[in-house]
Amino acid sequence: MKKKLTDGLRHKKNGVWEREETINGKRRSFSSLDPQTVWNKRNAALTEAQNIKTELASGPLWETVCDAYEEQVYKMKYGTQRTYLPAVKRAHDRFKGKRMREIEPYMISEFLKSLSGMAHTTVSNQKTILNAIFQLWIDSPVWRGDANPAKMTSIPKGLKRTKRNPPTDEQVNIVKQHYLDADALPAVIYLCTGERRGEACAIQLKDIDFTNKTISITQAVEFRHNKPFLKGTKTAAGVRKIPLLSMLESALEPFKNMSPDIYILSGKEKPLTYSQYDKVWSDFWHKYGFAHEVTEKQRKVRHGKEFVYMSTRWRADVVAHQFRHEYVCMLCMADVSEEIAIQLVGHANASMIHEVYMSLKPQMITSAGDKLNAFLNKD
């Protein structure tokens, strides 16, 4: 016989229908004037109880913990956010719908292998993010996680390691030949200091000691979209003094009588915006034949309507960071000791010099050959 909707319910004198039931060891009461509503409340409670059981057994949903970690990332430095957020999104999408204890080491390994077309640094960052998400789950007094499968996996072997090459000899010679060209100043700064872009953009006239021929590096510019923001150097080792080379000193001659608060790349008491910097850099290399045209889609909103149009601009074939590599090569060819080179470049250890910046130029090989020949031919 088909059960009535009111079966299992108690009809109270005031017309209310009620059901009492023990769920997860607790006595629960559900009531309403409508019997169907009573059952709906009771079924919702059963579902919630089952979810709690599942969560206790398998942990919270991956995306719940992932979203909590993403909130932490948004409180980090802007540069760190730019590095981490794409990895957080990839992780979120990969394991969405799974619970924390359901994710096993082999799943992490398969995920990392699926990124094998990316650079070693990108995959390494991805593993760092996975590790941090599981650690957040473990450290939470609410979730009380108990395993970190990311720690049990290894980064796939054979990932490509990219090493940016220094500028070509022709590009370096263009800077040397035209260092008094006002448009060449950014390139001259990079060639003569080896600074990171942000550090170079933050150099003010007061940081330059023309008497003792030194430049003090104490801060950096960080571009958030187009706007410049001052911050500390990338590492503690980034705060340093470097030599003021004669080529750069000559290029800075027009600045010597200006306000000490002038930023030398902007010529004003505020640093360049990103678009201003990009135009100055591209214009110089376009002038001397090392830039190419790019067409980009632009969007603008006018009177509440969005307009899409195509714009063409010049993009330099060489980037500022390549001159940082050139500076390290120059230090090596000038027989500057490794200990001093590390301090001038602003790294905390030698591995970055060896693994990232050092590129054997033909001149370095020739010089090594000359020295070896001289040693072998000694009487």
pLDDT digits (tens, 9 = 90+) for 231-282: 988 777 789 999 999 999 999 999 999 999 999 999 999 999 999 999 999 9
| Total of domains in the chain | 3
Please write the tens of the pLDDT for every residue from 29-68. 999 999 999 999 999 988 887 776 666 678 899 999 999 9
pLDDT given for residue 107 in this prediction: 96
The pTM of this model reads 0.68
**103 lies in a domain?**
yes
C-alpha pair distances (Å), 203 with each of 182, 189, 217, 251, 284:
17, 10, 7, 14, 20
95 HSE (CA, 13 A, CB side): 31
In a domain, 114, yes or no: yes
Residues 127-151: what's their mean pLDDT? Answer: 95
Rounded CA separation 337/68 (Å): 47
Residues 288-318 have pLDDT tens digits of 999 999 887 777 778 778 778 788 889 999 9
Residue 184 in this model has a pLDDT that exceeds 90:
yes
Shared domain for 127 and 253, answered yes or no, is no
Domain encompassing residue 68: 62-152
Q: In the listed set 296, 322, 348, which residue is the last one of a domain according to the structure?
A: 322
Residue 98: which pLDDT band, with cuts at 50, 70 and 90? very high
Query: pLDDT class for 91, splitting at 50, 70, 90?
Result: very high
Q: What is the pLDDT of residue 309?
A: 79
Residues 6 or more apart from 162 whose CB is under 8 A from it? Answer: 119, 121
Provide the pLDDT for residue 206: 96
Task: Tell me if 298 sits within 8 A of 243, measured CB to CB.
Answer: no
CA pair distance 358, 337, nearest whole angstrom: 14
Q: Does one domain contain both 316 and 177? A: yes
Domain boundary among 303, 322, 341: 322
CB 345 within 8 A of CB 217: no
Same domain, 205 and 282: yes
Phi, psi of 15 (to 5 degrees): 90, 0
